[in-house]
Structure 1
Amino acid sequence: MGSRILKLHTAFLLGAVLLGSTPALAETVLHRGNAGEPQTLDQAHTSINIEEFILKDLYEGLTIYDASGKIVPGAAESWTLSDDALTYTFKLRQDAKWSDGSPVTADDFVFSFQRVEDPKTAAEYANILYPIKNGEKVNKGGLAPAELGVKAVDAKTLEIKVERPTPFFLELLAHQTALPVSKASVEKNGADFVKPGVMVSNGAFKLVSHVPNDNLVVEKNPSYWDAANVKLDKVVFYPIDDQAASVRRFEAKEMDLVYNFSADQIDRLRSSYSDQVHVSPTLATYYYAFDSRQEPYSDVRVRRALSMAIDRDFLAKEIYSGSQIPAYSLVPPGIDTYGAPAKADFADVSQLDREDKAIELMKEAGYGDGGKPLNIEIRYNTNPNHERVATAVADMWKNTFKAKVSLVNLDVSSHYAYLQEGGKFNVARAGWVADYADAENFLALNLSTNKTFNYGHYESPEFDALMAKSYAETDPAARSKLLHEAETHLMADQPVAPLLTQADLWLVSSRVQGWHDNAANQHLSRFLSVSQ
């Protein structure tokens, strides 16, 4: 009897195979909460990370960030740099293909980079590629796009010339602005090249569907050169900017990843989900700038005293629930090419001793209790947390120096427009998130020649000279030493008071494998897998 049943069962399975009706293996799907609706999937117009997360699943640049946030080969399998550090030659992968099966060529990259710098494109982040020879001149209309320093030597060899030695150039090429587009697709489809069913991409995934404010779906790209090692069949991005709703969906096991949840939930979530809660320091600094064009902020003693009196531990723990870290350097930790940042000399002094020294400095400068009155206005961009920080700092300055402190806030666009256009102020809140993982990206904010982001109009010939030397230095160790000297000088002068190193907040389901916290906040889906 048993033998007959076995034969019948075997026959049924054989019939199922012959009829092609074998049940399919379950798809491996990653559900990603993405903190907002992407405004564009066009490389030339992207500017925020919720777009970057999607674009880097769809496209692959010459270089990419691996799972641990390190720069590794992407569409280029290798590259060489000339002795004068001015010419990069990239060898594209022979098996690099677009999702339509056509080869990825050097011409595609030439077209893509020229498109970004062409002023007609009006690319928001065109400056990312300014280190390419003639990049800024092309973008500002002084030269034709064809004059950009990029050339297809042959179908799989790309040559890029830079204006000057740029040690962080490989980092720039991993930025979403440097992702390639298919020349054939853009020329054929125009602005529609970004649409599902039309988009041709060269990354690990291809765009399947996009329902605005609901979900965006990408599927594994069988034409991708490393498709054999991509463990996910599909990734669904959910554009949820309601942080509480994101957390609820994570708790209901509807989403595997949640980005940027509310900091006041950290303790509760940690008690329930333990190591699924990730607080990862990122390359971003929250700081106050002093307007050094006017007294008393032109006096280094006043700037140092005000900075020393700020209790950064209180800000990090009480206002941000431990989701941010006290900062005493403008450059955040986590930049491999830089190492440990150069901190202010009072970083390791207790807060009480700092306050005593601050009072001495302020009296020496002739301000505060018993001296000239200290009237301070703190400007910040409208945000509940920024208001709480400003209120706390105001109390610290009142208690330490008997200062009279007032607050003024504007919406984020108006706030930064005021600062960038040279508006006068006393103290202003600002933040900087790295465009690329290099200390120069932070230090250059304070160059006297930086008319846009040097909000306090700080001028120091010594600092400028150290930075100039760093630009000419091609030896990585010697360059790092110069940048550390520049930051040491900056932290002694305190034209800006770094307050906090920001952190990225992620919820990562225990069923997700391959996740690595990293300062670059790079988490390509191709390096992740999920257990069923």
Structure 2
Amino acid sequence: MANRLIGFRAALLAGAILLGAGPALAEAVLHRGNAGEPQTLDQAHTSINIEEFILKDLYEGLTIYDASGKIVPGAAESWTVSDDGTVYTFKLRENARWSDGSPVTAEDFVFSFTRVEDPKTAAGYANILYPIKNAEKVNKGELGLDQLGLKAVDATTLEVTLERPTPFFLELLAHQTALPVSKASVEKNGADFVKPGTMVSNGAFKLVSHVPNDNLVVEKNENYWDAANVKLDKVIFYPIDDQAASVRRFEAKEMDLVYNFSADQIERLKASYGEQVHVSPTLATYYYAFDTRQEPYSDVNVRRALSMAVDRDFLAKEIYSGSQLPAYSMVPPGMEGYEPATADFGALSQLDREDEALKLMKEAGYGEGGKPLKIEIRYNTNPNHERVATAVADMWKNTFGADVSMVNLDVSSHYAYLQEGGAFNVARAGWVADYADAENFLALSVSTNKTFNYGKFNNVEYDALMKQSYEERDPATRAKVLHEAEALLMKEQPIAPLLTQADLWLVSSKVQGWQDNAANQHLSRFLSVSE
């Protein structure tokens, strides 16, 4: 009896200890809606922000964006720049570790950057690192890999030599393409290095599991140099491109963050959730691209006419509830030191634009009294994009009598089709600044940009101006050259900018540490959750 009583008391005591310890032992889990399934988790092949959000939780570049969207030290604790601005020397953190416990070395970065520029890798974003000396020539197979301006001085010292001074180089290094890979892991595992259970990463989290189109789970990386300040134990990404479903899951408290909800829900959601609804202006442009390889889109008059006939004020107010602004330039406003070049028809009333558009279309031989105009609009699956396409289709039907149809694919398939050079008539696209410089938007239309020049625009004068901008060292003169290039782009209209975007987020009140920022950078390591 005595033994039983002692056992009973011990059990009660153990239970009390467990109960008391319960809250402290509870996992801190962030549930992130991510607006689509990532095409890849390979730094060398990433291209869209839903991949970026995941990759930047898993890996850490030399520089990173902090919670406010500012560039701060990442895997590099410090750096120096030569007087002529062409040599950067980075000092890596002594305690920087991969998730397998091995040290992050300068050689890992040399290997990673070289891998991106290796023509065999076929990295779609290789141009991000083109400022590195000889990178473009190496990427085009004109020079050997050993000619890159990269040097591991010692295990923790990386020297990077540039072609020319590049004011935004530190921002480029925070791009997902510049995230490192473990040399040892890639050499051992090949393409499988991205798989759960195999991936070795150096960021605040490590990959645990990935069920395509269901969820992707990352857990805190105990070997991360700043692990003591990472407050989340786990982040679960949900690749849901159904915006209504995302909102329902947020309202059911199944997701803490939702990226890109339907704009027509802004007023309703604000009424119910107040400050949990975030409308954050960003450096991003929503545009339609014309396939200039085929008629009639090879005709500048047709492109200009179609662009003029789009009532951007209607799109901004009626479809996006004022959360986005009409756009007449490819480069969004707010870029420090640069004034965007707007299309010449931007100052006209919509009625005057439509009258001018009819004249241009008639000159091209299409529309009423001319050849029939049949147009297919492609867009990635999304209620807002569908509403924009439907509205634009009606505008073109009413203005030109065009026969307009629409086709949509999921976000991964849509961009894969465009990036692989698939033929189209008109295609929806968006560009979010990789770094705060006008070149980032204007480089999309350079003829040699095989990945993002979707409509294959080819203009010798435009290419020459962009080349001149890369060679110009005076910031004010360079800005003028870029402005001239954009003015030409807006005259030719191979792309029709429609809207300057805002990022729409639902952020649960239980999420702490969130800061809206124009760069739309929200690393999970800066967030926490409270019940």
Q: Counterpart in 2 of 1:515?
A: 514
Larger mean Cα displacement after TM superposition, 440-449 or 247-256 = 440-449
Q: Secondary structure at the match of 1:467?
A: helix
Which whole-Å deviations, capped at 9, do the CAs of 1:9-58 have from their partners, x for residues lacking one? xxx9xx989x9996151433222122344454332343333332122112
CA pair 162-409 structure 1, distance change in 2 beyond 3 A = farther
Query: Who is 1:224 aligned against?
Result: 224
Residue type of the partner of 2:377? Y
Alpha-carbon distance in 2 for matches of 1:320, 1:354: 22
Distance 1:512 1:391, change over 3 A: closer
SS of the residue 2:78 aligns to: strand
Give the match for residue 156 of structure 1. Answer: 156
Other-structure match for 2:317: 317
Structure 2 residue aligned with 1:62: 62
2-structure distance, mates of 1:298, 1:75: 47
Unaligned runs of 5+ in 2: 1-9
Q: In the alignment, what sits opposite 2:426? A: 428
> What is the CA deviation profile of residues 120-140 of structure 1, one whole-angstrom value per residue up to 9, with x for unaligned ones?
444444343343333344445
In the alignment, the residues of structure 1 paired with residue 35 and residue 252 of structure 2 have an alpha-carbon distance, to the nearest angstrom, of: 17
CA positional deviation for 1:145: 3.3
User: Quick check: 52-61 or 78-87, which moved more?
Assistant: 78-87
**Cα offset, 1:257, TM superposition:** 0.6
Instruction: Tell me how far apart the structure 2 counterparts of residues 476 and 126 of structure 1 sit (CA, whole Å).
Output: 24
State the AA in 2 paired with 1:515: W
Distance 1:68-1:448 versus aligned 2 partners, 3 A rule:
same
Query: C-alpha displacement at 1:93, in angstroms?
Result: 2.0
Query: Judging changes above 3 Å, is the alpha-carbon distance between structure 1 residues 395 and 142 closer, same or farther for their aligned structure 2 residues?
Result: same
Q: 1:34 to 1:430 in 2, by over 3 A?
A: closer
- 228-237 or 337-346, larger mean C-alpha shift: 337-346
Contact conserved, 1:301 with 1:365, CA < 8 A, in 2? no
Q: Distance in 2 between matches of 1:223 and 1:502?
A: 38
Which residue is 2:126 aligned to? 126
Aligned sequence identity (%): 74
* Alpha-carbon distance between aligned partners in 2 of 1:205 and 1:70, rounded to the nearest angstrom: 21
What does residue range 128-277 of structure 1 map to in structure 2 within 5 Å? 128-277=128-277
Aligned to 2:481: 482
Amino acid at match of 2:401: K
TM-fit CA distance, 1:259:
1.9
2:377 to 364, 375, 380: 380
Partner letter of residue 442 of structure 2?
Answer: L
String of CA shifts for 1:216-273, please: whole Å, max 9, x gaps: 3333333323333323233222333443332222112121111233344333322211
Q: Is the 8 A contact 1:390 1:407 kept in 2?
A: no
1:342 corresponding residue in structure 2: 341
Q: Which amino acid aligns with 2:427?
A: R
Which position in structure 1 is the counterpart of 2:529? 530
Secondary structure of the equivalent of 1:23?
A: helix
- Quote the residue 2:401 is aligned against: 404
Match of 2:7 in 1: none
1:78 alignment counterpart: 78
State how far apart, in whole Å, the 2-side matches of 1:189 and 1:86 are.
Answer: 35
1:323-368 deviations in Å (ceiling 9; x for gaps): 5432111112354x45553333444554345556x37x93898579
SS at match of 1:280: strand
Moved more, 232-241 or 302-311: 302-311
Alpha-carbon spacing, 1:370–1:376, altered in 2? closer, same or farther (3 Å) = closer
Counterpart contact for 1:258–1:506, Cα < 8 Å: yes
1:95 matches 2:95? yes
2:171 and 2:458 map into 1 onto residues whose CA distance is: 28
Q: How many residues align?
A: 511
Change (3 A) 1:119 1:416: closer
1:3 alignment counterpart? none
What do residues 277-297 of structure 1 show as CA deviations (whole Å, max 9, x unaligned)?
223344432334567789997
Separation in 2 of the partners of 1:340 and 1:274?
Answer: 35
